[in-house]
Amino acid sequence: HFIRQSHPNWHGKRVLVTAGPTQEVIDPVRFFSNRSSGKMGYAIAEAAAARGAEVTLISGPVSLDPPHGVRLLPVTSAEEMYNAADAHFGSADIVIKAAAVADYRPKDTHSQKMKKTPGDIQIEMERTKDILKSLGRKKTKQILVGFAAESENIEENARNKVESKRLDLIAANSIVKEGSGFQGDTNELMLYYADGRKIPVPLTTKHEAAGHLLNAIEPLFSEGH
Ligand code: CTP
Ligand code: CA
């Protein structure tokens, strides 16, 4: 997809990208998950590699081919994604968290298939760790970029995430707007910086949007990171 162009600022930069959904096991045949396709995160990983970065892609289960020139680390659950992200954070220059991490997982996982019974059942859920928030607390030199999937109050919710997760930049998208968000091949983003600036990325392909996002990250290289 990407023509190798001269992007000297990205050469040798270590970029960690997370993508896709996570799956939280209920029993051997069932899981909780979400509609993330992984396309946005894969496009970002591919675009960064095409600019000469050393890219590690931590991916939940998706049906996409690994992008060219990227080191792929497949994971399944939020817990596994947390462990992989945590292990690679220290050596990363830039972290871009496009993954749709499950916020909750079943409190108990059943080792045998759950059999149906005449009545209703309830599945108790517990919170997963917030990977990005934990990385935000640990960050030293890293540029930390998050995504925000919102169905309402996009700007307010996204800016709150910038603050609570100590991000440098967040890419917010509406999950209810036509052409934007989960599953499709296009996206429309609003980028909010920690310093209050914002940049719109008009509706375009996820590959184009990935390029815009990297362009928006680049000025942060010289700002003390
Ligand atoms: N994220 C994460 N770990 C989680 C949940 C979210 O790292 N357990 C990251 C996502 O990868 C994304 C950002 O946090 O980059 C925002 O995710 P989002 O679901 O929009 O926000 P939440 O903080 O989970 O809040 P809510 O779902 O209530 O809007
Ligand atoms: Ca969430």
Cβ contacts of residue 196 below 8 Å, gap of 6+? none
Checking if the pLDDT of 225 tops 80, the result is no
Among 36, 34, 32, 35, which Cα is nearest to 107's? Answer: 32
Ligand 1 atom 16, closest CA: 148
Interface pTM, i.e. ipTM: 0.98
- Give pLDDT tens digits for 83-122: 999 999 999 999 999 999 999 999 999 999 999 999 999 9
Tell which CATH classification among 3.40.50.10300, 3.40.50.1260, 3.30.70.360, 3.40.50.720 matches the domain 10-107+125-222. 3.40.50.10300
How far is Cα of residue 220 from the mean position of the Cα atoms in its chain? 19
pTM as predicted: 0.96
Q: How remote is the CA of residue 12 from the centroid of ligand 1, in Å?
A: 28
Q: Which residues line ligand 1 (CB under 6 A)?
A: 78, 97, 99, 101, 103, 128-132, 146-149, 161
Reported as a pLDDT band with limits 50, 70 and 90, residue 181 is: confident
List the catalytic residues.
34
> Is 113 annotated as belonging to a binding site?
yes
Q: What is the pLDDT of residues 129-151, one digit of tens each?
A: 999 999 999 999 999 999 999 99
98 alpha carbon – ligand 1 mean position (Å): 9
Burial-class residue 65 by CB neighbours within 10 Å (0-12, 13-18, 19+): exposed
Structure tokens at 31: 């899981």
% of the chain with per-residue pLDDT over 70: 97
Question: Given this model, what pLDDT does residue 1 score?
Answer: 57
Helix (H, G, I), strand (E, B) or coil at 123: coil
Q: How far is the CA of 52 from the centre of ligand 1 (A)?
A: 28
> Domain segments of the chain: what residues?
10-107+125-222
Supply the pLDDT for residue 180: 81
Residue with tokens 């996820």: 206
pLDDT at 182: 82
Length reported for the chain? 225
Q: Which residue has the tokens 């997982």?
A: 105
- Is residue 143 within 8 A of residue 225, CB to CB? The reply is yes
Which ligand has an atom closest to residue 134 CA? 1
Least distant ligand from the CA of 148: 1
Return the pLDDT at 72: 98
Q: What is the mean pLDDT of the chain?
A: 95
What's phi and psi for 150, nearest 5 deg? -130, 150
